[in-house]
Amino acid sequence: MTNNAMGSCLCGAVKYHVTGPLRPVVACHCGQCQKSSGHHVAATSANKDDFELLQEQSLKWFFSSPGIRRGFCFECGGNLFWDNTQLPSISIFAGTLDQPSGLQLVEHIYVDAKSDYYEITDALPQRRGFSMTARIK
């Protein structure tokens, strides 16, 4: 499915456009996602060739691990992106997309690291680590 998706942070200082397909949404429960978002992260992804930053004056990149950077707005604090600089795709936090997105949550990853204050109660697959199941189509 080819998209023409738009998205932004809460204050609108960072805006982006995706012209190609988006991967279904994956919920990541790893410790880094918890610390950066305050909960788990629900993210889609797009090929970097299909991704364009339209407005980025408040975009700040934080390297959370070697080769892994997280993009957020330094004005409103909105978390927007997860980027493995070695991969051809970029993860986009699904809540930053303008609605309707047309996407669906398809699985949970790093479920062994999830916080103790909630349960995963849907019937979607739960994986202990990273998954290659959900791909950009």
Q: What is the pLDDT of residues 62-114, one digit of tens each?
A: 999 999 999 999 999 999 999 999 999 999 999 999 999 999 999 999 999 99
- Cβ contact 99:5 at 8 Å: no
pLDDT, residue 135, reads 63
- Alpha carbons within 13 A on the beta-carbon side of 111: 15
pLDDT digits over 9-67, tens only? 999 999 999 999 999 999 999 999 999 999 999 999 999 999 999 999 999 999 999 99
* % of residues, the chain, pLDDT over 70: 93
Residue boundaries of the structural domains of the chain: 5-113
> Would you state the structure tokens that stand for residue 4, as one six-digit string?
């023409």
pLDDT confidence of 1, banded at 50, 70, 90? very low
pTM as predicted: 0.91
Instruction: Specify the DSSP class assigned to residue 119.
Output: -
pLDDT at 17: 97
Instruction: Classify each residue of 98-108 as buried b or exposed e, where b means 16 or more C-beta atoms within 10 Å of its C-beta.
Output: eeebebeeebb
Domain 5-113, what fold?
2.170.150
Can you tell me whether residue 57 is helix, strand or coil? coil
